[in-house]
Amino acid sequence: MSRERLYLFDTTLRDGAQTNGVDFTLADKLAIAQMLDELGIDYVEGGYPGANPTDTELFGAGRKLHTIFTAFGMTRRPGRSASNDPGLAALLEAKADAICFVAKAWDYHVRVALETTEEENLASIRDSVRAAKAKGREVLLDCEHFFDGYKANPKYALACAKAAYDEGARWVVLCDTNGGTLPHEIETIVGEVCKAIPGDHVGIHAHNDTEHAVANSLAAVRAGARQIQGTLNGLGERCGNANLVSIIPTLKLKPEFSAAFDIGVTDAALKKLAQVSHALDERLNRGSNRHAPYVGESAFATKAGIHASAIMKDPATYEHVAPSSVGNKRKVLVSEQAGKSNILAELDRIGIKADKDDPRIGRLLEIVKERETAGYAYEAADASFEMLARRTLGTVPNYFDVTQFDVNVEQRNNAKGERVTVTLAVVKVKVGSDNMISAAEGNGPVNALDRALRKDLGQYQKYIDGLKLTDYRVRILNSGTEAVTRVLIESEDESGERWTTIGVSPNIIDASFQALMDSIVYKLVKSKAPA
Ligand SMILES: [Zn+2]
């Protein structure tokens, strides 16, 4: 049986840009469009030309993309002709392959919000679709509030969709604008629509206000819709849009969908999905959701001892799909509850060969437990665990020694008479027989220490040039009588690999120093730097 084509439409750059705290620059938009293109998304909605300078500039120049680059905008205003509507004219001038119009499909909204007649709204849809087609564009119509409108007046909601389809729109997209519709309702209503409009011309645009946007999208496909609109990481106003990062692997890896449909995302591109998801967060300067399905750091993490030993025998026992299929990794957490089997499983994963009867494994388990009691949390710091394991097993070379460091924070008036706080760190390092001294200023003690430490590592400098810190988290723990500080540092290298290291001390500088050192040594081990 041949598979049907199912199309993906990404609106991260338009609907996703409505997210509180998200403000894409032109460079962001271009980079994200490129990433979506490489992923194999059929349609990328770039924005709303004419609505803001960024989007107007974005659509001012042509793009070399495989994807159908789409401009979003309103149908012509009521009471005007298509040729006499400046908003529509700007949209038709936009350098886009397709135009996605939005129109009201709920009679109540037509009367109250648009203050026009039902017939005039239908005429506006027809005229706008016709005008865009005449300009040689592929046309889509987003039917706003379609499901609420359908519940109130099915005949009118359908008439709006049908008006666009009859006029030659390639897609009629049913929007759950308020996001309150449930999967079984979506399935029923989309099924009804597909009796009037062929499903391969029907799309679904779901919002996540009941946490069903992904389920609603799949329900629509079951009922016949053949285009799914969504965003990367479910970005979008309020609770977000349907999350394409969850939808794509479900379509690719779950037999109900993979046997029935082809999508534009190849198996090879799917393996980059976790990277794409993290790259978006990186661009938004926010931490990734550790518990995100498929791509989160914890999506394939196991803690309990019996699960870990079963996973070592056959990963399928506790995994619904192979982590590598979406570019993720299996992770066996090392924690206070850790047994020898967790430790062995984790060593196996990171590629350290160990014999289960080796007394050093028992010793490592003891050290982990002691340190976790003191405030370390190795399940959040995989790279520090690896360093601890390698040191206990005696496989970490002594690349360099920090013989002394000094951090000075000074508040004073600068030459302009402004009050400034200046931080200076000085680090003495011994590499082989060379003694080196580096000094650096920073915007705070940890930043200055990091800069000084990574300024000159002699023969090892070339291995750490691409290293950068991407996140720094501090927590004060109250264990027993005294407070200690736990520092977690996330680092990234030139290959895009990330790792987390940890430090614990009553002194925040000391805790940070431990985490920084682990990160640098981890990078040297990973790069196979010669000892
Ligand atoms: Zn929306």
- C-alpha 294 to ligand 1 mean position (Å): 24
DSSP 52: B
* Rounded CA separation 466/392 (Å): 28
Beta strands in 75-165 (DSSP E): 98-104, 138-144
Out of 47-51, 218-222, 304-308, 345-349, least confident range: 304-308
- C-alpha 271 to ligand 1 mean position (Å): 28
Contact 116, 156 (CB under 8 A): no
- C-alpha 86 to ligand 1 mean position (Å): 24
Q: For the CA atoms of the chain, what is the radius of gyration?
A: 28
| DSSP 3-state of 357 | coil
What does residue 272 show for φ and ψ, rounded to 5 degrees?
-100, 0
* Rounded CA separation 30/57 (Å): 11
Contact 249, 265 (CB under 8 A): no
- C-alpha 79 to ligand 1 mean position (Å): 26
DSSP string over 124-135: HHHHHHHHHHHT
Q: What is the pLDDT of residue 305?
A: 62
Work out the number of other CB atoms within 10 angstroms of the CB of residue 528: 7
pLDDT tier at 334, thresholds 50, 70, 90: low
| b/e per residue 389-418 (b: at least 16 CB within 10 A) | bbebbeebeebbeeeebebeeeeeeeeeee
- C-alpha 432 to ligand 1 mean position (Å): 60
Lookup result for tokens 């389920």: 215
Contact 262, 3 (CB under 8 A): yes
How big is the CA angle at 484 (ends 482 and 489), to the nearest 5 degrees? 175
- C-alpha 172 to ligand 1 mean position (Å): 14
- C-alpha 203 to ligand 1 mean position (Å): 13
Residue 221: both structure tokens together: 């496909």
* Rounded CA separation 216/207 (Å): 9
- C-alpha 241 to ligand 1 mean position (Å): 7
**pLDDT tens readout for residues 301-329:** 876 666 667 777 777 778 899 999 999 98
Beta bridge partners of 47: 71
**pLDDT tens readout for residues 234-256:** 999 999 999 999 999 999 999 99
**pLDDT tens readout for residues 85-108:** 999 999 999 999 999 999 999 999
- C-alpha 20 to ligand 1 mean position (Å): 14
Residue 198: both structure tokens together: 């062929």
- C-alpha 134 to ligand 1 mean position (Å): 27
Mean pLDDT of 398-410: 94
Q: What is the pLDDT of residue 504?
A: 95
Cβ-based neighbours of 331, under 8 Å, separated by 6 or more? 297, 298, 300, 301, 302, 346, 349, 382
- C-alpha 377 to ligand 1 mean position (Å): 40
* Rounded CA separation 245/12 (Å): 11
* β pairing state of 482-492 and 468-479: antiparallel
- C-alpha 278 to ligand 1 mean position (Å): 23
Beta bridge partners of 407: 425
**Closest to 512 (Cα-Cα) out of 530, 494, 487:** 487
Contact 158, 143 (CB under 8 A): no
DSSP 259: T
- C-alpha 263 to ligand 1 mean position (Å): 22
DSSP string over 427-473: EEEEETTEEEEEEEEESSHHHHHHHHHTT--GGGHHHHTT-EEEEEE
- C-alpha 13 to ligand 1 mean position (Å): 12
DSSP string over 275-288: HHHHHHHHHTT---
**pLDDT tens readout for residues 253-268:** 999 999 999 999 999 9
| DSSP 3-state of 407 | strand
- C-alpha 530 to ligand 1 mean position (Å): 54
- Model confidence at 374: pLDDT above 60: yes
Mean pLDDT of 281-301: 88
| DSSP 3-state of 70 | strand
- C-alpha 281 to ligand 1 mean position (Å): 20
Mean pLDDT of 340-357: 84
* Rounded CA separation 305/149 (Å): 52
% of residues, the chain, pLDDT over 70: 97
Lookup result for tokens 């760190």: 425
- C-alpha 80 to ligand 1 mean position (Å): 26
DSSP 338: -
What does residue 436 show for φ and ψ, rounded to 5 degrees?
-120, 150
Q: How far is CA 409 from CA 274, 416, 442, 448, 507, in A?
A: 40, 19, 10, 10, 15
* Rounded CA separation 121/109 (Å): 10
pLDDT tier at 428, thresholds 50, 70, 90: very high
**312 vs 48, which has greater pLDDT?**
48
Contact 430, 459 (CB under 8 A): no
Q: What is the pLDDT of residue 77?
A: 93
- C-alpha 201 to ligand 1 mean position (Å): 19
Cβ-based neighbours of 486, under 8 Å, separated by 6 or more? 375, 376, 377, 474, 475, 476, 477, 502, 503, 504, 511
Mean pLDDT of 340-355: 84
Mean pLDDT of 357-381: 87
| DSSP 3-state of 59 | coil
**pLDDT tens readout for residues 473-486:** 888 887 656 789 99
**pLDDT tens readout for residues 439-483:** 999 989 999 999 999 998 999 999 999 999 888 888 888 765 678
Q: What is the pLDDT of residue 62?
A: 86
CA 296 and chain centroid, separation: 9
- C-alpha 43 to ligand 1 mean position (Å): 15
What does residue 460 show for φ and ψ, rounded to 5 degrees?
-95, -5
Q: 299: phi > 0 → left, psi -120 to 50 → alpha, else beta; which?
A: alpha
DSSP 253: H
Q: What is the pLDDT of residue 21?
A: 84
Out of 120-124, 242-246, 284-288, 457-461, least confident range: 284-288
- C-alpha 238 to ligand 1 mean position (Å): 10
Q: What is the pLDDT of residue 480?
A: 59
**pLDDT tens readout for residues 129-179:** 999 999 999 999 999 999 999 999 999 999 999 999 999 999 999 999 999
- C-alpha 140 to ligand 1 mean position (Å): 14
**339 vs 392, which has greater pLDDT?**
392
Mean pLDDT score across all residues of the chain: 92
* β pairing state of 401-413 and 419-431: antiparallel
Q: What is the pLDDT of residue 332?
A: 72
